[in-house]
Structure 1
Amino acid sequence: MANTWQGEFPHENKALDGYERTSPVGSFPANEFGLYDMAGNVWDWTQDWYSADPPTSEPEASCCTPANLRTVTEEQSVDPRDPSEIPRKVLKGGSHLCAPNYCFRYRPAARYPEPIDTSTSHVGFRCVAPVEE
C-alpha cells in the first residue's frame, strides 16, 4: 500500500486512500523489513548522478561484492538533448502523482532523472541512519 493517484490523471483524483496530496509518514503499513513509505507519496532524491544506461564495473576479488553502479559522473548525467546542460540526479520510488494511466514508477526500484536545479511538490528526501547493534 502506498499513496498514489487514484483515478484518471490529471483530471480525476478520487483520493480513495484518504489523501489528495502527500500523506504523513507511516500512514500505510510497513513492508516485511519494517520500512515505511518506500514507494509513492514523494520521489526521493538520491546521491547518484543519473544516466539512462549507467556503466557497470566488475566486482572486485570477493565472490559477494556487487557491481558498483555509482560510476556515472556529474558531467555524464547531463542530457545531451538539453541545451541548459544541467546535471541530473536519480529520484527513486514514485509519488502521489503516479497513476496507472500516467506513470508506472511507484516502486522502490524505479529510477527517474531530475535536474538538480528543479523542485516540485512531489519530490523529497529520506533520512538514513545507521542501525545500532
Structure 2
Amino acid sequence: MSTCCTPGHAAHAPVTTLAPPRPPLPPSRVARQLLSLPGGRFLMGTDDPEGFPADAEGPVREVAVEPFRIAATAVTNAQFATFVKATGHVTEAERFGFSFTFGAFLSGPVAAISPPVAAVPWWRAVDGASWRRPEGPGSHVSDRQNHPVVHVSWNDAQAYCAWSGTRLPTEAEWEYAARGGLEQRRYPWGDELTPGGRHMCNIWQGEFPDLDTAADGYAGTAPVKSFRPNGFGLYNTVGNVWEWCAGRFAPDDESSRAMRGGSYLCHDSYCNRYRVAARSSNTADSSTGNIGFRVAGDPA
C-alpha cells in the first residue's frame, strides 16, 4: 500500500515479471524537447505545520543540484501511445489484468462488478482498467490525447525512459524544478492556493470523496498544459497526477518508490499533498488512475 491515498498492486495480486527489455531504439523527440535548468543550491523540504512529518517532508535543508533537463509536462497519452506502438510494451496493469480507478468515475455496470479497496473504499479494483481504458471497459483515451497518461507503474515509466533516451528525475531535481525559482513557497506560484480567486492547479473542490464541484474546470485529469507554468516553464507540477521519481521513498524500503506533486484527488480535508514539498509512495509495480510521470535528462 502507499503512504497516501493511492492503493497498490502488491497487496492484491502476485508479482509479475516484466518481459526482457527490447534493444534500445533511437531516442524520440521527447528527449530533444526537455527544458535545461541550471541547478544550484536550494532549500528542499518544509517544516510547514500543514505538512506530514511522517512522510519525511522535512526538515528544511540546503541541497545542491547539478544542471539537468526536465520535461515541461507530464508524459501524455499520445506520447505514451507512440512508445507502445514502437516497442510493443505491455504495461503492468495490462499484465495484472486490472488497475485502480476512483469509484465515482465508473459507469454503473463497471462499478457494480468492481470491488472497493478495503483501506481506501473510494478506490475500485477494475478489471480491464489500463492506460488505454482508464475507467475500464467502455472507456478510452481518444479524447484525452493531451492528458497525462495514467495507470502506468514505475517500471513502465522506466521502460519509456529507456526508449526515449531520458530518465526519471530525482526527488531533489523534481522539487527544484517544481519550485520554479521560488524559495520555500508552499506552491509553485506562491503561498496562496487561489490568488485573487484564480485556480492554479487541478485538485478536488467540494466534499471529498462525495462531491467534486470541478470549480477549477476539471473533474479527473486535465490537459498537461492547463493553468499557468511556473517560473521555469513547467506545467502542473502540483495537482493533476502524481509523478514517479527515480528513487526509493525511504532508504530502508526496497519496494517503495517516491511520487511527487499530488493529484486531482487531493483535498485539504484528507490529502493536501499538492504542496511542492509533499511526498508519497507506491510499489514499483503499482498503477492507478491518478499516477503518471515526467521525464528528465542529463545536460545535452
TM-score w.r.t. the length of structure 1 is 0.70
Structure 2 portions without partners, runs of 5+: 1-199
Q: Aligned letter for 1:89?
A: R
Identify the residue that residue 44 of structure 1 maps to in structure 2. 243
* Counterpart in the other structure of 1:30: 229
> Residue 41 of structure 1 aligns to which amino acid in structure 2?
N
Tell me how far apart the structure 2 counterparts of residues 14 and 29 of structure 1 sit (CA, whole Å). Answer: 21
Identify, as 1 or 2, the structure richer in helix: 2
C-alpha separation in 2, matches of 1:47 and 1:108: 17
The residue number in structure 1 matching 2:270 is 102
Q: Which residue of 1 aligns with 2:219?
A: 20
Higher Cα Rg, which structure? 2
Note the C-alpha offset of 1:29.
0.3
8 Å contact 1:42–1:96 — kept in the other structure?
Answer: yes
- Report the counterpart of residue 114 of structure 1 in structure 2: 282
Query: In structure 1, the residue corresponding to 2:211 is in which secondary structure?
Result: coil
Alpha-carbon distance between aligned partners in 1 of 2:203 and 2:219, rounded to the nearest angstrom: 9
Residue type at the aligned position of 2:242 = W
Aligned equivalents of 1:12, 1:22: Cα separation in 2: 16
Whole-Å separation in 1 of the counterparts to 2:276 and 2:225: 16
Q: For each residue in 1:15-34, what CA deviation from the matched residue of structure 2 results, as whole angstroms up to 9, or x when unmatched?
A: 01111100001110011222
5 Å-filtered alignment, 1:78-97, equals 78=254, 87-97=255-265
Structure 1 stretches of 5 or more lacking a match?
Answer: 52-71, 79-86
1:68 corresponds in structure 2 to none
Measured against aligned partners, the alpha-carbon deviations of 1:44-88 in whole angstroms (never above 9, x if no partner) come to 00111111xxxxxxxxxxxxxxxxxxxx2xxx215xxxxxxxx01
CA drift of 1:131 comes to: 6.2
Task: Report the CA distance shift for 1:16/1:131 in structure 2 as closer, same or farther (over 3 A).
Answer: farther
CA distance in 2, matches of 1:41, 1:121: 11
Residue 81 of structure 1 is matched in structure 2 by none
Question: Alignment partner for residue 5 of structure 1, among 198, 204, 226?
Answer: 204
Deviation at 1:110, TM superposition (A): 1.2
Percent identity over the alignment?
46
Which residue of 1 is the match for residue 253 of structure 2?
77
Deviation at 1:127, TM superposition (A): 2.0
Inter-partner Cα distance in structure 1 for 2:246 and 2:207? 32
Deviation at 1:113, TM superposition (A): 1.7
Provide the secondary structure at the position in 1 that maps to 2:204: coil
Instruction: Please say if residues 38 and 107 of structure 1, whose CA atoms lie closer than 8 Å, have aligned partners that are also in contact.
Output: no
Q: What do the CA deviations read for 1:89-124 (whole angstroms, capped 9, x no partner)?
A: 000010000011111100222110211121100000
